[in-house]
């Protein structure tokens, strides 16, 4: 995204309107909105997933369902965030 923002800044500073830059910016905005919506769906699924333990910390019958939904949501989120790729956000991993 830094590339498109720099291109837009240069275009504005130069007083030049380039249809290609605007087309690229529009495409990037569309892609970011799709990713945002997909990540929002994942967060909704996680928020609505029943926790697999009771107040005393004992596992409940919901554990298998929780595991399935949680793992699927995390896999989808990982793909959307591009965690298999290096980016400005994913350059370093937290120490565990």
Q: Give the torsion sign (CA, 88, 90, 94, 95).
A: negative
Percent share of the chain, pLDDT over 70? 85
Report pLDDT digits (tens) over 2-43: 688 888 888 888 888 788 888 888 999 999 999 999 999 999
Q: Is 53 helix (H, G, I), strand (E, B) or coil?
A: strand
Helix (H, G, I), strand (E, B) or coil at 63: helix
Q: pTM surpassing 0.85?
A: no
Q: Is the dihedral of CA 48, 54, 57, 60 positive or negative?
A: negative
Extents of the domains making up the chain: 2-81
């Amino acid at each position: 995204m830094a590339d498109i923002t720099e291109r837009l800044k240069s275009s504005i500073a130069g007083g030049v309107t380039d249809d290609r830059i605007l087309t690229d910016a529009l495409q990037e905005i569309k892609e970011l909105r799709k990713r945002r919506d997909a990540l929002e769906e994942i967060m909704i699924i996680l928020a609505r997933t029943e926790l697999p333990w009771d107040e005393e910390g004992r596992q409940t019958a919901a554990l298998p369902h929780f595991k399935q939904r949680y793992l699927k949501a995390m896999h989808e989120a990982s793909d959307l965030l591009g965690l298999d790729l290096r980016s400005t956000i994913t350059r370093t991993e937290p120490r565990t």
